[in-house]
Amino acid sequence: MPGIAYQKLEARQLLFWGPLALNAAVIAAGLGAAYVMEHSGHIVTGMNNQIVWGTPHVFAVFLIVAASGALNMASIASVFGRREYKPYARLSAILSIALLVGGLAVLVLDLGRPDRLVVAMTTYNFRSIFAWNIFLYVGFLVIVTAYLFVMMDRRASRSTALGKTVGGLAFVWRLVLTTGTGSIFGWLVARQAYSAAIMAPLFIAVSLLYGLAFTVIMLAITGWQSRQQLAGSEMLQKFRGLLIVFILAVFYFTLVHHLTKMYASEHYGIERFLLRDGGTYTAVFWIAQILIGSVVPLLLLVWPKSGTRHAAILIASVLVLIGGLAQMYVIIIAGQAYPLDLFPGMEVTSSFHDGRMAGYRASLPELLLGLGGVAIAMLICAIAVRLLPLLPRPAT
C-alpha cells in the first residue's frame, strides 16, 4: 500500500510540553484524590447508599464507550475499505487505547478496595456481565495493540489480508464491548430506569458519536501543535456528515427508549421524574444533553453558512462531548436517584431513603479523579504521537 505517509508530532517546545505538563498536573491531582478516597473512605465523595455510582463512573463509562468509538477511522478504512480514512487509522487506534486506559483507571481507582485489583483480575464469576467486561476490555487493548502493530510494521502492513483480519476482529470486538458496557445497565431488572435491551444499541450509537468527536478534537489539537492542517476540507466534510448521522442515531435511540417507557403506566413515575420533575436531573437532560449536546451541534453542522467551516465542526465536537458527559450523568446518576419500586402503586417511606428521590452532589475528589482519567488518555496520546509516526501528513 504505497502512498500514505505518516509523521511524528513535531511541535515547538512550549506547545508540546505545556499541554503535557497540564495533563500531568491533572493526573497528579486525580491520583491524590484517589488516595484520599481510599484512605478516608467514600465518605469524602458525594456517593452514598442511594447513589452508589457517581461522577467517577460517569467519566469512566464515558471514556470507555468513547474508546470503542474512536476506532471508527481505522474500522472504516480496513473493514469497509475506504482508503481516504486510512491516514487516520493509526491515530484512531492509539486514541482508542488511550481512552480505554483512562476510563479503566478511573473505574479501578474508585473501587472500595482498589488494593484488591489482583482479586478482580484472578477471581471471576462468569455469570457477571461485569466480569465479561473485564475480559472485553483487556481483549480490546490486546487486539487494538496488535492492529496498530500490523498497520505500522513494514512487513506486516504489506499484507492486506492480515490488516483486514485483525481490523475485522477489532471491529467485531468493539461492537461486543459496547454492547457489554450498555448491558451493565440494560440487564439491571431491579431499576426502573434501566432494564431495557435498547441500552445496548444506544451505547453503540453514543460510542460512535463520542469517539468521532474525540478524533476530530485530537486532530485539531495536534494540528495546532504542529501548525499543520492535518485534515483537509474534503475530509472534514466527511466528518461533518458522520457527526450528523451519529447525533441523529443517538437521538433516535434516546427517543425510542423514552417512548417505550412512557407507554407503560408502570414507568410513568420514572419518566415523569427524568423528563419533568427531576430538578437538576431534568435540567441536565434537557439543557446539557438535548440542547447543548444534540440540537446546537446539529444546527451548527447542517446550517450551510457554518456547516462547512472547520471551526464549526470542532465546536460541534466539543459540544457533543459535553452533551455526552451529561447523557452519562442522566443515565447513571438520575437512573439511581429514582427510588426502587418495592410496592408498586404504594407510597413507601423509611429511614433508608425508600420512596424518596435521592440527592447527589459531586465532591471535588471524585471530580478530580474523573478528570484525571481524561488527562491520562490525553497524556498517552500526546506521548505516543510524539514518539511514533501515528499522525497523517498534512493535506496538500
Partner 1 sequence: MSCGSKCATGCAGGTGRGCAGAGRDRIDEERRSFMRGAAASVMSLGAGVTLYAFDADPAAAREPGEKVTAKNRWGLLIDVSKCADGCSKCVTACQDENGWRDTGHPETDAQWIRTLTVKNPNNGATFSLPMMCQHCANPPCVDVCPTGASFKRADGIVLVDKHTCIGCRYCMMACPYKARSFIHEPLQDQKPYAPRGKGTVESCTLCVHRVDSGRIPACVEACNDTAGGAMLFGDLNDPSSEIAKRVTALRTTRIRADLGTDPGVYYRNI
Q: Which residues bind partner 1 (CB under 8 A)?
A: 38, 40-43, 47-50, 52-53, 111-114, 116-117, 119-120, 123-125, 127-131, 134, 184, 187-191, 336, 340-343, 345-354, 359
Query: Which residue number, 136 or 382, has a Cβ lying nearer to partner 1?
Result: 136
Nearest distance from residue 347's CB to partner 1, in Å? 4
Beta 391-392 vs 6-7: how paired, if at all?
Answer: antiparallel
Q: What DSSP string runs through 359-375?
A: P----HHHHHHHHHHHH
Measured between alpha carbons, how far is 91 from 113 in angstroms, rounded to an integer? 34
Query: Which residue number, 188 or 322, has a Cβ lying nearer to partner 1?
Result: 188
Query: Which residue number, 13 or 351, has a Cβ lying nearer to partner 1?
Result: 351
Nearest distance from residue 325's CB to partner 1, in Å? 20
What lies within 8 Å, CB to CB, of 383 at 6+ separation is: 20
Query: Which residue number, 265 or 349, has a Cβ lying nearer to partner 1?
Result: 349
Nearest distance from residue 47's CB to partner 1, in Å? 8
Query: Which residue number, 133 or 178, has a Cβ lying nearer to partner 1?
Result: 133
Q: Is 346 exposed, middle or buried (0-12, 13-18, 19+ CB in 10 A)?
A: exposed
Nearest distance from residue 247's CB to partner 1, in Å? 29
Query: Which residue number, 146 or 341, has a Cβ lying nearer to partner 1?
Result: 341
Asked if residue 336 lies in contact with residue 191, where contact means CB atoms within 8 angstroms, the answer is: yes
Nearest distance from residue 359's CB to partner 1, in Å? 8
Query: Which residue number, 293 or 370, has a Cβ lying nearer to partner 1?
Result: 370
Nearest distance from residue 149's CB to partner 1, in Å? 30
Query: Which residue number, 171 or 203, has a Cβ lying nearer to partner 1?
Result: 203
State how far the alpha carbon of 214 is from the alpha carbons of 94, 117, 175, 223, in Å.
12, 29, 18, 14
Nearest distance from residue 194's CB to partner 1, in Å? 8
Asked if residue 150 lies in contact with residue 166, where contact means CB atoms within 8 angstroms, the answer is: yes
SS3 readout for 102-124 = HHHHHHHHHCCCHHHHHHHHHCC
Nearest distance from residue 244's CB to partner 1, in Å? 34
What lies within 8 Å, CB to CB, of 52 at 6+ separation is: 336
Short-list 2, 392, 26, 15, CA closest to 229: 392
Short-list 294, 211, 205, CA closest to 253: 205
Nearest-10 Cα torsion for 371, 129, 204, 77: 90
